[in-house]
Amino acid sequence: MTGEIHPTAIVDPHAELAEGVSVGAYSIIGPGVKLGVGTKIWHQANIWGNTTIGEDCEVYPFASVGMRTQDLKFKGGNPGTLIGDRNVIREYVSINAATNEGEYTEIGDDNLFLAYCHVGHCCKIGNHLIASNGATFAGHVIVEDHVGIGGGGTAIHQFCHIGQHAFIGGCAKVEQDIPPFMLGDGHPAKIRIFNKIGLERNGFNPEQLSVIKRIFKIFYRDGFNRQQALAELKKGDIADSEETKAFIAFAESTERGLAGGS
C-alpha cells in the first residue's frame, strides 16, 4: 500500500487499504473496513464496521460510515455497508449498517451526499443520486438511478421507493412512493409535475419528454383512478415506449402506494 496516512489517524491493522488511499488527521478506520484504490478519507472522519468503500471516493470531516444500525430490532451479528465508486460523502453525513446478519446497506456509484444527510439501515441506493443538505433516508428506502433530493431536512419514510429520474423538492415529507420521471413536493409530498428540467439535463430528447408528459397527464390530470390510468397507459399509443413500461412496472410493484397528485 502506498498512500498518505496522517500520523494522528487510527487505522486498525486488520483494515484493508488499497493503493493510493489517504487518511486524514484524527480519522478512525476500523478493523472490518475495506477502502478501494484512490479513496480519500479527510480528517476527523469515522469508518467502522463491516464496511467496503470502492474506488476514488471522498469522505469528508465528521462523517460516520458503517456504524451499527439504529434499528431496535438489531440482535447482533455483523451486518454491513457496501459503497461503490466515486461517491462523495460530505461533512456530518451518517450512513448506518444493515440490521440482520448477511444484510447490507448498499450505495452504488457516482453519488453525492451533501452535509448532514442520513442513510438508514438496509437502504438500497442506486447511481448518480444528488442528495442535498439534510436529506434523510429512513430504513429500507430504495432509490433508483439519477434521482435528485432537495435539502432542508427532506424526509423519506421507511420502505418508500423512489423511481428513476425523479426529483423531490426541499423540505418535503415523503410518505409514499415517488414514480419514475415525476417531481414530488410538499407535506406530505404530492406529484406536482414531471421532472422536466432534470430529464433535459440527463439527455432526454423531445420525443421522450412528450411521452412522459402524456404519462403525467393520464395518471394525474385526466380524472382516472389508478387502475383506470394504468389501463389507459397499457392500451394507448405510448404503451410500447420504454418510459411507459418503466412507469407501469413501478406502479404495479408499489407496496406503500404511489404519492397522489396535487
pLDDT for residue 258 is more than 90 = yes
Sign of torsion over alpha carbons 191, 128, 149, 66: positive
Confidence of residue 2 (pLDDT cuts 50, 70, 90): low
Confidence of residue 1 (pLDDT cuts 50, 70, 90): very low
pLDDT tens figures, 231-248: 999 999 999 999 999 999
pLDDT tens figures, 194-206: 999 999 999 999 9
Long-range contacts of 185-188 (CB under 8 A, 24+ apart): 185/150, 186/262, 188/259
18: phi > 0 → left, psi -120 to 50 → alpha, else beta; which?
beta
pLDDT for residue 133 is more than 70 = yes
Which residues on neighbouring strands pair with residue 95, listed in sequence order? 65, 119
Count CB neighbours of 246 within 10 A: 19
The pLDDT score that the predictor gives to residue 3 is: 75
What are the C-alpha distances in Å from 189 to residues 84, 101, 165, 178? 29, 34, 16, 9
- Least confident piece of the model among 3-7, 21-25, 82-86, 154-158: 3-7
pLDDT for residue 139 is more than 90 = yes
Residue 188 near residue 155, CB atoms below 8 Å:
no
What are the C-alpha distances in Å from 19 to residues 24, 53, 160? 16, 13, 38
What's the mean pLDDT when you consider all of the chain? 97
* C-alpha 80, offset from chain centre: 17
The pLDDT score that the predictor gives to residue 262 is: 80
